[in-house]
A and B are shown apart, each in its own frame.
Chain A
Amino acid sequence: MTTSIEGAPAGLVVADEQAAAVHFLVDEELYPLPAIYGAAYVFIDRCYVFLDRPEPARVRVVLTAKSGAAAPEALRALIGEFANELLSCAFRHQIAQDNRVLIETATMQALAGAMGQPSLDDLAKFDFRDQGFDDPLGIAMSWEEKHGRKSPKPESEGAP
């Protein structure tokens, strides 16, 4: 049997005491998908987390107690914690976009500084064949590859 949870918006949060689970319908316009993933990931060590998309732009998050039993207060606490984490992740997602340059610059300086210059041994071990990045714009392609004359297509059968 499912019941609503006190203090949670009606219809968005539903508790299933028998299954020791709580369902939360999340609006993707308010909480972007990376934030939903982020919050869900934080919870996989304390409960079972399942995501579903019952309708466009909505994600249903199902949190199930690992023990198989949970009192209503425990389910309420679980969904409350999740809602706080979700809000935090959504806000952080926005801040990370706003301050991306600042964060990346600090991180790069910190890591490059801490690692120091590579030794000859480090360079010898480096795998230069490693395809470490996507190149959708073809920036790493040679000019010939990108703009050179195309090889003639094989003649199709029946061509004059």
Chain B
Amino acid sequence: MNLSLPPAPSLVQLRPRAGTQAYFRWRAVGDKILVTNLEGNWLLLTAPEFAAFVEGHVPEDSELHARLKAGNFLRAHYDVRAAAERIRARKSFLAGGPNLHILVVTLRCNETCVYCHASRANMDQVHTDMTRETAERAIDLVFRSPNPFITIEFQGGEPLVNFDVVKHAIEYAVDQNRAHGKRLQFTMVSNFALLDEAKLEYLLQHRVQLCTSIDGPEKLHNAQRKLPTQDAHQRAVGWIKRINEAYGASGLDPTLYHVEALLTTTRETLPLWKEVVDTYVGLGCKALFLRAIDPFGFADRTRQRLEYPRGEFMQFYRRAVDYMIELNKQGVQILERYASIFLTKVLRGEDPNFLDLRSPSGAGIGALAYNYDGKVFTCDEGRMLHEMGDDTFHLGDVRTSSFRELVGHETVRAMTIASNLDGQPDCVHCTYQPYCGTIPSFNHKSQGSIFGRMRESNVCAVHKGIQDYLFEKLAEADPETLAIFDRWTTVRSRDHFVQPAP
């Protein structure tokens, strides 16, 4: 562990003069000093500029003064209304209510993955299939959400194992939406191994956005995601190509409409950063989400084999994203999802509402997870912990609980408070606080309380590490990189996946 302070020895001699600066936080990033304020404005200052700012002798007619004033960093010129507007924009998700509704239609899965333990069941465990009646009751609750945007995500297990109920849920939801008029979308997370042309036609016809798992190159993927036929990668890749062709044949823009894939980063993945990126680019994916492995769903013994220090993950991340930036400079469109989320907050002052990376987190107030048996949880991680014998995040049941009972549950309240970074040690003084978020279920699993301790948290280490990397890039100010970052924060709506208005 590195206990040394950031290399800025001259800062020690600073004699701050109170009353000149508005509230700010600071952090050394490379040879610059990053300052952020309450509303998330930021500036990268040189050491002399920072000294002048802190000691309160920035000449009024200087360029630095103008920058500080524009960023709302000066007490004498503090614009309360502008700050309030910025905070309101950043927190626009706050009162929205749950828009993501995860339906775990079965725990059964045809693949055996090395990192998946408690969130799957063998193919003969038919009792872990959701019934039509349970799906209907879950969807009844979904439409009680006040959020005008609703996404129903089919998960498992492997949702194609219980495809009849997926179909029934889609048709029931579309029917119910005639009365509610929500902007309704469906997504399905599948390994595609059980897909066939008839199922695909149904999914395309019903505008279901498809997402799969690709763990990198074929050898690694097949070693981690096991089918008896040893061809999990080939099957997934075959269907990705087939689906993308179908989108193209329908006249949809391939840069916008394509299969999304998710990576699970294990210890074996770390040296293969280039191969992972090349695999995703080769499959026509436009986004790669470089997430560190989480502690849910598998046994402790397995975790020890798959886990790695977060410093090693950050090396992997930096190498992979450096390479992605180089590819972008050569005209390849591939973005890193974490970077895109953080940069949207940093560069655009908006929150893309990624539920694990906002304050407060989306558990219960932004998402709900409905298990195959009708039990409802704050999040999918909470549902996985239930399968491991921990019911901390269980809220109720689709048959007996009202929507208001679920989202007004004391567990949701506790998680909303616990994931508010304004109440969290370390975060409250962290330069990255305006852009960050914490995950109560992760804290609970890894540190024993939903509050967690950020200084010892793997999630915090990764969030800080990624933001350090991004601000280093912003400090370098390479025009091509800045243009790529700007593109990564441009959100283009995928309207085709929205169900036609009733």
Contact = CB atoms under 8 A, between A and B. Distances in A.
Asked if A and B touch directly (CB within 8 angstroms), the answer is: yes
Contact of B95 (A91, A102, A110): A110
Interface residues of B, number: 33
B424 A107 contact: no
Nearest to B364: A114
B404 interface: yes
Interface string B88-99: 000100111110
A46 interface: yes
Contact of A115 (B408, B417, B425): B408
Contacts of B127: none
A137 B448 CA distance: 39
A103 B422 contact: yes
A113 B97 contact: yes
Contacts of B448: 42-43, 45-46, 85
A103 B91 CA distance: 13
Contacts of B91: 106
Interface string A96-135: 1001001100110111111111100110000000000000
Given A103-B420, A115-B408, A110 B365 contact: yes
B351 to A, nearest CB: 13
A100 to B, nearest CB: 9
Interface stretch (B102-110, B203-211, B327-335, B449-457): B449-457
Interface string B405-433: 00110001100110010111100100000
Interface string A78-104: 000000110010011001100100110
B429 to A, nearest CB: 9
A99 B97 CA distance: 24
Q: Chain A at the B interface: mostly helix, strand, loop or mixed?
A: helix
A42 B449 contact: yes
Interface residues of A, number: 28
Given A46-B448, A122-B404, A113 B95 contact: yes
A110 B404 contact: no
A122 to B, nearest CB: 6
Contact of B424 (A45, A92, A117): A92
B408 A99 contact: no
Interface string B27-68: 000000000000000000000000000000000000000000
Given A107-B360, A113-B97, A122-B404, A95 B425 contact: yes
B444 to A, nearest CB: 10
B145 interface: yes
A115 B407 contact: yes
A117 to B, nearest CB: 8
Query: Which has the most chain B C-beta neighbours within 10 Å: A88, A91, A95, A111?
Result: A111
Contacts of B360: 106-107, 110
A121 to B, nearest CB: 8
Contact of A113 (B146, B404, B417, B425): B146
B424 A110 contact: no
Contact of B407 (A111, A118, A121): A111
Most-contacted residue by chain B among A43, A102, A115, A117 (CB, 10 A): A115
Interface of A: 42-43, 45-46, 84-85, 88, 91-92, 95-96, 99, 102-103, 106-107, 109-118, 121-122
5 contacts: A85-B453, A92-B425, A99-B423, A110-B94, A112-B95
